Amino acid sequence: MIDATGDKCADCHSLWPMDRMIELTAAAENEENQQKHFACFLFFPVLAMSIILVLPALFGVCFAKSVNTKPIVTSSSTYAYAVDLDKPVPKAAFTCMKNKGISTAIIRAYGPSNGGNLDENAVNNIRNADQAGLGTEVFMTPVPQSKSNKTGSQQFRELFEGLKAGNITIRAMWLQVVSPKDWGSKVDNNIYLLNDIISMAKYYGVRVGIYSSAYDWKQITKNAIVENAMLWYWKVNGGGAKGETPANFNDFVPFGKFTKATMKQYGQTEELCGVTLNKDVYEVKKAKLLKLTDLKGKKDDELIAGRIGSDLFGAVAVPAA
């Protein structure tokens, strides 16, 4: 169970029965002063009285232009590069990105319009990226209950079933937990929504990762503890190429029991191959890719998204007062 405090956040950016309850733990956060970082997100990219966690996020999109046409990765690099986006992108643009060193496209699959809906560009973007030879990941921008009459589990079902109707099956998903002002003021409600989504994802057999930052996580969840969840964190100094931070994890500082990161967003609102997007990096040796055996039962023309995954599911709890 989650020990929600109900504390309000001054500056903030339905459960599905499960056979196994998720035990949550809470811990007080000692760091009181976290620096708020500029964030523009794009996407990107649960349940029976148990509460699980959230992710990455990707974001309520904000774009600007910058130019960086030189190759971003070398054959000797231990890192792989990705982009996250939520705008319609043709196959030719994804092919261009691949030629510039991009390995993976993180696509927003669920957006905030009309209280939450399957992103209208998701299916085509995933297919175009796949046909261009890129790996594909998806991220979800959940809608807090203060702004939607849809439960977290309902939002996830719409995402999963919507992609399935397009003959796309997801094995992993990134849950965006950013922009505190867009969330409700009650932390317990925020955590409930996240856990509702994660529990439903677990029901469908989908791995979940969290997209967030130390500041966002503290404001939205009061530094809720997450067990066994992947983390995709963002850190930039502003929009555009000049706001990029190093494309590595050297600046990562543990928070909310996230002791390591799977992926980092190091650039926002940049232009690449004529597309405004965000830039990401993940360390190949730490990113657990799905094995061929995970694709057993794959149907003809079925596309599998979500290759950077983990067999573990996370749980969150509000820290003790």
Percentage of the chain exceeding pLDDT 90: 61
Q: What is the mean pLDDT of the segment spanning 87-94? A: 99
DSSP for 286-312 reads: TS-BPPGGGGTTPPTT-EEE--B--S-
Find which of 8-12, 15-19, 168-172, 286-290 is predicted with most confidence, using mean pLDDT: 168-172
Strand partners, 272: 275
At the second CATH level, the architecture of 79-317 is Alpha-Beta Barrel (3.20)
Instruction: Return the pLDDT at 298.
Output: 60
Nearest to 172 by CA among 146, 134, 210: 210
pLDDT tens string 195-226 = 999 999 999 999 999 999 999 999 999 999 88
Q: Is 91 helix (H, G, I), strand (E, B) or coil?
A: helix
Over residues 153-177, the mean pLDDT reads 98
Residue 77, CB half-sphere, CA atoms under 13 Å: how many?
17
What whole-number percentage of the chain has pLDDT above 70? Answer: 67
Q: How far apart are CA 143 and CA 114, in angstroms?
A: 10
**CA angle 302-311-166, nearest 5°?**
20
What is the gyration radius of the CA atoms in the chain, in angstroms?
A: 18
pLDDT in tens, 54-72: 333 333 333 233 334 344 4
Q: What is the pLDDT of residue 307?
A: 84
Q: What is the pLDDT of residue 21?
A: 27
Handedness of CA 271, 277, 283, 284 (dihedral sign): negative
pLDDT tens figures, 262-313 = 999 999 999 999 999 999 999 886 556 555 445 545 666 789 999 886 544 5
Beta strands in the chain (DSSP E): 79-85, 102-111, 117-118, 135-140, 168-170, 172-176, 207-212, 225-226, 230-234, 263-272, 275-283, 303-305, 316-317
Sorted by where each begins, the domain ranges of the chain are 79-317
- Among the listed ranges 55-64, 122-131, 146-155, 312-321, which one has the minimum average pLDDT value? 55-64
- Mean pLDDT of the region 232-254: 97
Return the structure tokens found at 191.
């955590």
| 3-state SS, residue 240 | coil
The pLDDT of residue 104 is above 50: yes
